[in-house]
Amino acid sequence: MTHVPSTELRPLLRGLNALLVGLPLALLVCVPGAVGDWIRLFVIVLLEGNALPGMWLLALLPSLVAIGLLVVAVWQFGRFRPDVEEWQADLYHSRLFVLVCLGLAPFLQWAEVKSGVPPGGEFVFRLNVILFTFAAFIFLLHLNLLLRRLATLLPNEVLQADTRIFAKLNPILLLLVLGVVVIYLLIHKLEPTGYRFKQILESVNVQSGRLLLLLVLPSLATTLSMVWKSRQTVLHMLFEPGFYNASPQPPLPAEDASDEVESVSSAGDTNYPADAARSPDRE
């Protein structure tokens, strides 16, 4: 691999740090019932129910900050290896998906509003939440491909092997989660008539945010492990430039077989007392 200047490695390191913080934060504040509801409840208790005119902006702040970190991460990646066309093309698609998520993030809060919504507005809000969910899943899918492409540009063979495995496993896990979400939405729209089945759906609906969090967590954990290993590689390239470029030591020259053969004293050699004791009597 050719030498990569620090002017390209430092933006890449900042992008990996933003991704390392933004991914778990986005999962916590964007999934309903995870942390976002607790933040809104804290604001309500703190203000004692007296909502200020611009308070709705404060409720949007956690999700906008979390997804904003992902936007910063993807844009910082663009300053690394700008001459590689395939890498820049993958970044273009990632930017598109993350900008869609950023634009639809306010609907996560607006969909919970029950009063003052015009006719048909609730349906539009719910539809935008569904679009946000699909865009977020596609972004996670594409992020695994992006990290695999990044691993090929870094001189770490262990990172390349691990990323190759995780990048194949994570899309399967995410597609399974997406299939479960689609099946749940279809069943919820069909409105089954069974009383027991309705109770199960109501229980799942109440805990839907936490269940979705548990389903996405394995794939997110493996994605974060790839980000962390890439970050460690970039740190070595920045502060230990010879870490991956050190040439292996040449093998030691083979010694002659004649040197390895131990000398054996003859029966008549009496230079040593032990040999003299074993030697035959000359008389």
pLDDT at 259: 47
pLDDT above 70 for 48:
no
pLDDT value, residue 52: 55
DSSP code, position 112: T
Distance CA 244, CA 117 (A): 59
| Residues 59 and 15 sit within 8 Å (Cβ to Cβ) | no
Question: What would the pLDDT profile of 95-150 be if each residue is shown by its tens digit?
Answer: 999 999 999 988 887 766 655 566 666 778 788 888 898 898 899 989 999 999 99
Average pLDDT over the chain, rounded to whole?
77
In tens, the pLDDT along 225-245 reads 999 999 999 999 988 877 665
Cα distance between residue 113 and residue 281, in whole Å? 115
CB 154, CB 237: distance < 8 Å: yes
Contacts of 14 (CB under 8 A, 6+ apart): 72, 76
Pairwise CA distance, residues 91 & 70, whole Å: 12
Q: What are phi and psi of 25, to 5 degrees?
A: -65, -40
pLDDT band (50, 70, 90) for residue 74? very high
The pTM of the full predicted model, rounded to 2 decimals, is 0.75
pLDDT-derived band at 32 (thresholds 50, 70, 90) equals low
Q: Mean pLDDT across the stretch 265-278?
A: 49
Three-class DSSP category at 100: helix
In angstroms, rounded to a whole number, what is the distance separating the alpha carbons of residues 161 and 166?
9
pLDDT over 60 at 271, yes or no: no
Give me the DSSP letters along 51-65: --TTHHHHHHHHHHH
pLDDT, position 264: 47
Structure tokens at 200: 């199960």
- The per-residue pLDDT for 239 is 86
pLDDT, greater one: 5 or 276: 5
Per-residue pLDDT, averaged over 251-258, amounts to 48
More confident residue, 65 or 203: 65
Of the chain, the percentage scoring pLDDT greater than 90 comes to: 26
Q: Is the pLDDT of residue 257 over 90?
A: no
